[in-house]
Amino acid sequence: MTGPLPDVVIGSGPAGVSVATALLARGRPVVMLDGGRDLPAEAEAQRSALAATPPEGWSKAQRNAWQAGQFDAAGAEVRRFGTGYAMEPAEATFAEADGLALRASLAVGGLSNFWGSAMLPYRQEDMTGWPISAADLAPHYAAVMDFVPMAGVEDALAPLFPALPMAGRSPILPGPQARAVLARHRPSARFRMGLARQAVASGCKGCGMCLHGCPWRLIWSARDQVARLRQQGGLDHRPGAPVVSIVESGSDAVVYRADGTAIRGARAYLAAGVLGSAAILLRSLPGMRELTMADSAQGFLPTIQTVRTDGAPDRVPFHTLPQIFAELSDPAVSPHTVHAQLYGWNEYYERDLRANHGRKIPFSGPIWRALSRRLVVAQIFLHSAHSAQVRLGLAEDGRLQADVRPNPQTLDHLKAAAAAMGRQLRLSGLQPLTFALRPGAVGSGFHAGSTLPMAVAAGAGQSDVLGRPAGWQRLHVVDSSILPAIPATTITLAVMANAHRIGAYNPS
Ligand SMILES: Cc1cc2nc3c(=O)[nH]c(=O)nc-3n(C[C@H](O)[C@H](O)[C@H](O)COP(=O)(O)OP(=O)(O)OC[C@H]3O[C@@H](n4cnc5c(N)ncnc54)[C@H](O)[C@@H]3O)c2cc1C
Ligand code: SF4
């Protein structure tokens, strides 16, 4: 290659496309590497056939066929578009990972192909002691919002999240359950609710297939931005053999791939997701045998809607993404924000109720159907200070070895958060079933990171504010690995803003 050396971005997920967008805006040539997995042709054909007909024209068989992939999946495996291609099976990533539900991705676009699209910035109140502030991230949230669609409205959440102004934006049609809850909500200093902010483009058809893959691809994926950057020019996307390690050589960074090839760049920006990046760092940082990962614990609190709603929640048009965000700022529960996402009806509720209780009570089908229409489930997230940690090392075969260190206080914090949240939800017509609170496995919320936390001056096991491990000049880690902690509010928007901040900085 002639001309200036490019910058090499490892990963095309939300972090990778954000840093690449900032680098390209600075006029830097960018080579982007990723694991190259993409939607299989058969699934893409099924998707485009579905998208060719309005939802009213779909047959029951078509609906069932689109949902079958996820319904047939084993255990907690996530599938969208009928396939699990964007999430690696545990055994591909780990030699051992007992009790850890977090998974890696080798897909173009990473885990954002399968995600829930909930978006919030981090609050300054949850960044105490960080070497960067909410103000440092603010312009980069704005830059990210230039290429990520955002559905939502300006409402009672606005004072908590000034970095994400919603004026002029449109929401996805809220369901009747959400409308009834928000109509009764009286925001206070301790508790605020508003419509969820989702990375979803306008034009939602209300087909209710969000948890199976949007046939119109309206739910944003980083894959969309890869395509856009390639079209605009400047991005050399080279999907394929995974990256194994990185070394600094003189004034270059050299990136080694599993097929034995090497790519020389002016700088390397590591955005392989917290697990992918951990494996690469453990192979690249001399003397680094172990990294400690932080998780944001989550659990599900079912509630029963006790008030009338102005329609059935399962009648089209409807969506099954989070409907409402609820934020609890109660020092008696936590010094940090407790975040919850409220989900209205979806096709899993009745199936779960029948599977768990139906067999014990003959002819009870109509009861479970009626109950499922009254269910609203709050997914509650805690700050990582109250959550488990995971030690990550390398096994002899090169896979990760994960050792989960539970936090003995997590369950108590989750119960306290559910009780406090439940008291507030009751005022809006939701009766919390706190006895049925279901804590998730470690990593099951997919909000994890902090393996190489940023510090003002990077010491061992830390990075500087540009994501550079101690002693390194040309390797910048830009994904959730470098967050100093994992606040409860959603992770991806903050990761993207931080990656964009690092890419926008001109180090030369
Ligand atoms: C089911 C589900 C729901 C979620 N819902 C939400 C939500 O509602 N809100 C939210 O904020 N977050 C959510 N998340 C989390 C969100 O998806 C992640 O935070 C986000 O995708 C992380 O972005 P990333 O770019 O750091 O990594 P990833 O998305 O994991 O992307 C990693 C990239 O690196 C590449 N890669 C990995 N290893 C290598 C290697 N060795 N060599 C080369 N390339 C490599 C991959 O191909 C991929 O392109 C959800 C996740 C899941 C699974
Ligand atoms: S309801 Fe969900 S799947 Fe259907 S169009 Fe809207 S975002 Fe896409």
Mean pLDDT over residues 332-340, rounded? Answer: 98
What is the atom index within ligand 2 of the atom nearest the CA of 319? 1
Assess whether pLDDT exceeds 60 at residue 1: no
Looking at the domain assignment, is residue 179 inside a domain? yes
Give the pLDDT band (50/70/90) at residue 486. very high
Site residues for ligand 1, CB cut-off 6 Å: 10-16, 33-35, 78, 105-107, 110-112, 114-118, 242-243, 271-273, 276, 280, 446, 479-480, 490-492, 495
* 441 neighbors 99 (Cβ within 8 angstroms): yes
Report d(CA 490, CA 152) in Å as an integer.
15
pLDDT of residue 357: 79
The residue to mutate among 87, 112, 214, 220, having the most atoms of ligand 1 within 8 angstroms of its beta carbon, is 112
> Residues 21, 106: one domain?
yes
pLDDT of residue 363: 78
Q: Quick: pLDDT tens for 158-184.
A: 999 999 999 999 999 999 999 999 999
What is the atom index within ligand 1 of the atom nearest the CA of 274? 26
Ramachandran bin of 141, using left for φ above 0, alpha for ψ from -120 to 50, beta for the remaining angles: alpha
- Atom 26 in ligand 1: which residue has the minimum CA distance? 273
What is the atom index within ligand 1 of the atom nearest the CA of 15? 25
Report d(CA 211, CA 116) in Å as an integer.
8
What is the atom index within ligand 2 of the atom nearest the CA of 206? 1
Looking at the domain assignment, is residue 128 inside a domain? no
Give the pLDDT band (50/70/90) at residue 2. low
Mean pLDDT over residues 254-263, rounded? Answer: 98
pLDDT of residue 302: 96
> Residues 24, 105: one domain?
yes
Ligand nearest to the CA of 115: 1
> Residues 310, 424: one domain?
yes
Assess whether pLDDT exceeds 80 at residue 74: no
Looking at the domain assignment, is residue 503 inside a domain? yes
> Residues 282, 316: one domain?
no
Looking at the domain assignment, is residue 158 inside a domain? yes
pLDDT of residue 284: 98
CATH number for 203: 3.30.410
Assess whether pLDDT exceeds 90 at residue 71: no
Share the mean pLDDT of the chain: 96
What is the atom index within ligand 1 of the atom nearest the CA of 243? 42
Q: How far is CA 322 from the centre of its chain?
A: 13
Ligand 2 near 218 CB (within 6 A): yes
The residue to mutate among 216, 221, 315, 318, having the most atoms of ligand 2 within 8 angstroms of its beta carbon, is 216
Q: Quick: pLDDT tens for 361-419.
A: 877 788 888 999 999 999 999 999 999 999 999 999 999 999 999 999 999 999 999 99
Assess whether pLDDT exceeds 80 at residue 3: no
Mean pLDDT over residues 2-9, rounded? Answer: 89
Q: What count of other Cβ atoms lies within 10 Å of the Cβ of residue 91?
A: 10
Give the pLDDT band (50/70/90) at residue 359. confident
pLDDT of residue 176: 97
Could you give the dihedral angle defined by the CA atoms of residues 209, 211, 215 and 217, in that order, rounded to the nearest 10 degrees? 130
> Residues 448, 376: one domain?
no
> Residues 102, 178: one domain?
no
Looking at the domain assignment, is residue 129 inside a domain? no
Report d(CA 22, CA 500) in Å as an integer.
5
DSSP for 19-39, written as a single string? HHHHHHHTT--EEEEE--B--
Mean pLDDT over residues 243-255, rounded? Answer: 96
Ligand 1 center–CA 503 separation, angstroms: 18
The number of distinct structural domains making up the chain is 3
Ligand nearest to the CA of 151: 2
Cα end-to-end distance, the chain, whole Å: 21
Looking at the domain assignment, is residue 124 inside a domain? no
Give the pLDDT band (50/70/90) at residue 217. very high
pLDDT of residue 72: 84
CATH number for 249: 3.50.50.60
Ligand 1 center–CA 351 separation, angstroms: 28
What is the atom index within ligand 2 of the atom nearest the CA of 318? 1
- Atom 12 in ligand 1: which residue has the minimum CA distance? 492
Sorted by sequence, the CB contacts under 8 Å of residue 304 that are 6+ apart come out as 371, 374, 375, 376, 430, 431, 433
Mean pLDDT over residues 328-340, rounded? Answer: 98
The residue to mutate among 56, 67, 210, having the most atoms of ligand 2 within 8 angstroms of its beta carbon, is 210
* 50 neighbors 193 (Cβ within 8 angstroms): no
Looking at the domain assignment, is residue 367 inside a domain? yes
Ligand 2 near 204 CB (within 6 A): yes
Give the residue from 58, 81, 104 where a domain finishes: 81
Q: Is there a cis peptide before residue 40, judged by omega within 30 degrees of 0?
A: no
Q: What count of other Cβ atoms lies within 10 Å of the Cβ of residue 310?
A: 9
Ligand 2 center–CA 214 separation, angstroms: 5
The two tokens of residue 237 are 């996307």
Quote the percentage of the chain above a pLDDT of 90: 91
The residue to mutate among 47, 56, 113, 204, having the most atoms of ligand 2 within 8 angstroms of its beta carbon, is 204
Q: Quick: pLDDT tens for 292-326.
A: 999 999 999 999 999 999 999 999 899 999 999 99
> Residues 421, 479: one domain?
no
Quote the percentage of the chain above a pLDDT of 70: 100
CA distances from 197 to 206, 216, 326, 446 (A): 16, 19, 11, 18
What is the atom index within ligand 2 of the atom nearest the CA of 321? 2
> Which of 165, 112, 163, 119 lies closest to 141 in space, CA to CA?
163
Q: Which domain holds residue 71?
A: 43-81
CA distances from 246 to 22, 106, 265, 477, 478 (A): 22, 18, 11, 11, 15
Mean pLDDT over residues 464-469, rounded? Answer: 98
Assess whether pLDDT exceeds 90 at residue 349: no
> Residues 266, 414: one domain?
no
Report d(CA 435, CA 295) in Å as an integer.
24
pLDDT of residue 172: 96
> Residues 29, 48: one domain?
no
Ligand 2 center–CA 304 separation, angstroms: 25
Looking at the domain assignment, is residue 58 inside a domain? yes
What is the atom index within ligand 1 of the atom nearest the CA of 117? 8
- Atom 4 in ligand 1: which residue has the minimum CA distance? 115
